[in-house]
Amino acid sequence: MANCPQINNTTIKGTSAVTYDSTPLPCTDVNTCDGLNVVLAKFDAIICDVTDSVNTLTEDITNATEDLMIIIDDVININDQLGICCSIIIPECSTFITSGNHVSYYNFETNSFTNLFSEGFGNWSDVANTNNKLWISKVGLIKEYDITFNPWTASFNRDIAISPGPGLTAVDNDFLIGSMYSKIILIDISGTTPTYTEIATLPTFGSPYGSSISGDIMLTVNNKLICTVETYTEGSPNYYHYRLLQYDFTTMNLEIVVDLYPIVNGPWGLTENNGNIYIFDAIRKLFSISPTYPYEINEVNVLSEQVLGASIEKSCVTSSFITTTTSSSTTTSTTTIAEIFTHYFSNSSTTPEIACPKFVTAYTLYSSDSLLILNSVLYTNLGLTTPFVGNSKWYKFLSPDEGKVYQINDLGIIISIITCI
């Protein structure tokens, strides 16, 4: 206890009779032997200082809050102005692509991608669109969006519970075209529950494992259905042989086959631009294919992203594959488009019994007949000028009707047909 003066008074009257007798308190400046009046005065001064500081801080926070609200309003106004002047605008004949979980627009002039939106996790294998709808697909699901091009907007509309394979294109807002194993299917999405119809079986090209869509399907304005196909061939260098097929969508007759091997491996996306048909491949390359025979394939770009699927609106696809034959004289030159059909045969055999078990393609031949019959003529070129020299031997017909063998003479004429048992 401190040695403070003692007041010998059993009855304390007034606060002046009380003193503080402990160690000094540095924060409040209370010293030993300070009277209670002095201690309270020092406490009051500190409380007043704290109150003034709190009031000042409160005013500062209020001012900062008002400043922040003004900044937020300014940011909103700037964003509104950006929305007016600088929204994403893409052409109506744009190529959409899927890469990972996002959808982008591919610009052919700059070889660049503009990310438009992302959806969930994992890879969306394909995309299709009309002028106001867009669909993305993966195993077990198709998602549908309402879209506009100017400015670009995409609003989720619904999930479509169906599990197509690779490849997707739109006929219109009610029907899509997809694949399921070796089949091309027409998907009716006009109701709440989707249904599908098989419209074609892909040719096997002599493989016992068959063929499937490797990446994409594209419908043209003149009703040609173009698709990329892979055929598993055991023992070949890459095991998968890739081709591009063109069907007449109204009849689903196979019209043209373009061999992509060995230039394109993993053809995943199909689109069109300026009259050329393009393929996005699995190793980030873009190839152009001329629509006229001999369908020249050229690498045109190396890509910054791996494209899984591609889409362009049907009315924008004005090109399709054609075969041209030209006749000329000293005064005129005319070009006509001939319908040519591709047929696949095994190598030759001396008897039909030897030919029937064969399944490996050895010859790709052409004819003006979609259904081969007696006296049909087979040629080795699309111009139908070089007859196939068959030496009157037997050849297994591998696609599309794989159950028959044909005897073909030196003029390419079918002279006998036998059905294999």
- E-strand spans in 35-174? 95-99, 102-107, 112-118, 126-129, 133-138, 141-149, 152-160, 169-170
Q: What fold characterizes domain 95-316?
A: Neuraminidase (2.120.10)
Distance CA 361, CA 324 (A): 26
Closest CA to 101 of 308, 337, 383: 308
Distance, in Å, from the CA atom of 95 to the CA atom of 128, rounded to the nearest integer, reads 10
How many alpha carbons lie under 13 Å from residue 379 in its C-beta half-sphere?
12
pLDDT of residue 342: 83
How does strand 224-232 pair with strand 240-248? antiparallel
Q: pLDDT digit string (tens) for 127-174? A: 999 999 999 998 889 999 999 999 999 999 999 999 889 999 999 999
C-alpha distances (whole Å) from 136 to each of 111, 133, 308 are 22, 10, 11
- 328 pLDDT higher than 50: no
pTM for the structure as a whole? 0.63
How far is Cα 135 from Cα 293, in angstroms, rounded to an integer? 33
DSSP classification of residue 21: -
398: DSSP letter: E
- pLDDT number for residue 111: 97
Q: Name the pairing type of β-strands 253-259 and 267-273.
A: unpaired
Domain boundary assignment for the chain: 1-86, 95-316, 337-419
Angstrom distance (rounded) from CA 82 to CA 401 = 60
* Residue-wise pLDDT tens digits, 23-76: 888 888 888 888 888 878 878 888 888 888 888 888 888 888 888 888 887 776
